[in-house]
Structure 1
Amino acid sequence: MTGASDELVTPAVLRAWPLSEPGVGKESRGTILVVGGSATTPGAVRLAGEAALRAGAGKLAIATAASVVAPLAVAVPEARVLRLPEDRQGSLAADAATAIVEAAGGADAVLIGPGFVDPEASVRLLEAVLPQIACPVMLDGPGTAYLTQYPEGLQHLTASALVTANIRELARMLQRDPDEVDEHALDAARELAERTGVVVVAGGAIKHIAGPDGRSWTIEGGGPGLGVSGSGDVQAGIAAGLLARGEAPAKAAVWAGFVHARAGEHLAAAVGRVGYLARDLPAVVPRVIAEIG
């Protein structure tokens, strides 16, 4: 796979691969279910959920740890917030699986992983969840640990699954040294996409996206300000919102990666190269999408 060509994403590339018309009502733009968070990390699902709505999803449901449901429901009044049982460490307990599967039955796409803090607990939960979900699924952050243990665990979702991972998570899924993966991130993303049958987004200063069909894309830009806590949750939310709107995983990933980068550049110009917060990014997303046209 080394040396295979990839496509540099530009506004012209996206205009030739436009998003579908959004429709006139919230039902037509889809429902996104965001599953994640813990007693100590409720902000991640808020960032991801708000980004999904800013990307055009019509309805938002958030399923998270019971102890943070009340303040989160106030903070995100647009969302239906579902209370899930926690383990002693505040992570989602394995017996939350039934409620997650039930909620996924009413969703057009499911994002799992923002705010997870324990990869082992994530795997225990997802063992009972993912085999029962039929709609498009996106795994993010520690949720990707499921693919480390079950590399073929999303292949029942033919052409309907997407994974976003930083270099450390990508290396873990491939069982490789992180420095080696960092040096050859595009090839690593291609290998994981081929192995798992899902679209893979490898995060970093340069974003690499690879599909199981052999296609791949590179996104440059964004700036150092995107290297801040919560930024990846926003990118995951943008992609998940586009999945809920009915876009294929590859298109959702490419558009989300580019929009995320350009949102960072907008904020760098308005605020500074560094110092803006991840919570500032979602509000810029509609403007960036409109500018691409």
Structure 2
Amino acid sequence: MPSRSAEKVITPQVLRDWPLPDPQGDKMARGTVLVIGGSRFTPGAALLAGVAALRAGAGRLQLAVTESTAAALSIAVPEAKVVGLPETERGSVAGDVPDHLLELAGDADVLAIGSGLDDIEETRTLLHRVLDAAGKDTPVVLDAYALGALSKEPDLLAGRSQPVVLTPNVTEAQHLLGREPKDDLADEAFELATRYQATVSLYGHIATPDGRAWREESADAGLGTSGSGDVRSGILAGLLGRGAEPAQAACWAAFAHAVSGQRLAPRFGRTGFLARELVDEVAYTIATV
């Protein structure tokens, strides 16, 4: 088993020395991001993740959400292709997703799964179907209930070739670990990375299965607001769409997420800004690194 290296602090200079792929060509060259989420009662989570992906530089956005919310989201995000998915009586995305979603998953350059999903068992079924349909090299970002589904079936990713990034908060990390996280979140991020053979972004700590590690130190309390995690996973997916490799995308996303909050603090206070306002700062934050 590899050992964890000392964490490298993510600074603007570290990122400048690790530049994102140069955005050349048309929108197709910057990737198609497919966000799968959005139950009847939480469609905004998929909206936040999707728009954040565009702000991070993705070329095209597709949103797959419950049928009852698809029309409203297509108006709210006119830049996106929005498809409706069957839903349960409780308003959750049904796991037995239709073939048209599997076709989109097979053609997408990045999959972001979890924002706004709200049923563990339906999500487990959905993950199996979608990951089976996705390209073998298609990066996948798992967040929210997708992480809950993974915690119920730890071998779900075993044998799959897709590069995966997990973006748990501390509660989701507890489910993935099967115990309370210890104080050293760097070690916990590395344990998750090795256990699930994925890049992990946990509360500013980024770890890879081969032992590389980074730490983002710009975050403040204001990021602990509803929808903030959806924004972070969307930024990450957008950077993957641009061609960043998973660890690079995770580091840049953590920095862009945190510094976007810093930019809002003078106007709204440390804890008064909203996740939707974070989204509007993302492109400028990335551009000015």
Q: In the alignment, which residue of structure 2 is the partner of 1:197?
A: 197
The whole-number CA distance in structure 2 between the counterparts of 1:253 and 1:43 is 22
- Whether the 8 Å CA contact 2:123–2:145 is kept in 1: the answer is yes
Q: Which runs of 5+ in 2 are unaligned?
A: none
* 1:243 has 2:240 as partner: yes
Q: In the alignment, which residue of structure 2 is the partner of 1:146?
A: 149
User: What TM-score results when the alignment is normalised by the length of structure 2?
Assistant: 0.94
Q: In the alignment, which residue of structure 2 is the partner of 1:210?
A: 207
The whole-number CA distance in structure 1 between the counterparts of 2:165 and 2:63 is 19
What is the identity percentage for the equivalent residue pairs of Structure 1 and Structure 2? 46
User: What TM-score results when the alignment is normalised by the length of structure 1?
Assistant: 0.93
Specify the SS of the correspondent of 1:263: helix
- Whether the 8 Å CA contact 1:164–1:200 is kept in 2: the answer is yes
| CA-CA distance at 1:224 after TM superposition | 1.4
Q: How many pairs align?
A: 286
Specify the code of the residue in structure 2 equivalent to 1:273: R
Q: Which runs of 5+ in 1 are unaligned?
A: none
| CA-CA distance at 1:78 after TM superposition | 0.2
| Aligned-pair Cα RMSD in Å | 1.6
Specify the SS of the correspondent of 2:35: strand
The whole-number CA distance in structure 2 between the counterparts of 1:113 and 1:272 is 29
Specify the SS of the correspondent of 1:242: helix
Specify the code of the residue in structure 2 equivalent to 1:103: L
Specify the SS of the correspondent of 1:93: coil
Specify the code of the residue in structure 1 equivalent to 2:218: G
| CA-CA distance at 1:274 after TM superposition | 1.6
- Whether the 8 Å CA contact 2:96–2:125 is kept in 1: the answer is no
The whole-number CA distance in structure 1 between the counterparts of 2:267 and 2:24 is 32
| CA-CA distance at 1:171 after TM superposition | 1.1
- Whether the 8 Å CA contact 1:84–1:99 is kept in 2: the answer is no
Alignment of 1:94-133 (within 5 A): 94-96=95-97, 98-133=99-134
Q: In the alignment, which residue of structure 2 is the partner of 1:183?
A: 183
Q: In the alignment, which residue of structure 2 is the partner of 1:257?
A: 254
The whole-number CA distance in structure 2 between the counterparts of 1:155 and 1:266 is 40
Q: In the alignment, which residue of structure 1 is the partner of 2:18?
A: 17
* 1:280 has 2:241 as partner: no
| CA-CA distance at 1:152 after TM superposition | 3.7
- Whether the 8 Å CA contact 1:201–1:209 is kept in 2: the answer is yes
- Whether the 8 Å CA contact 2:70–2:83 is kept in 1: the answer is yes
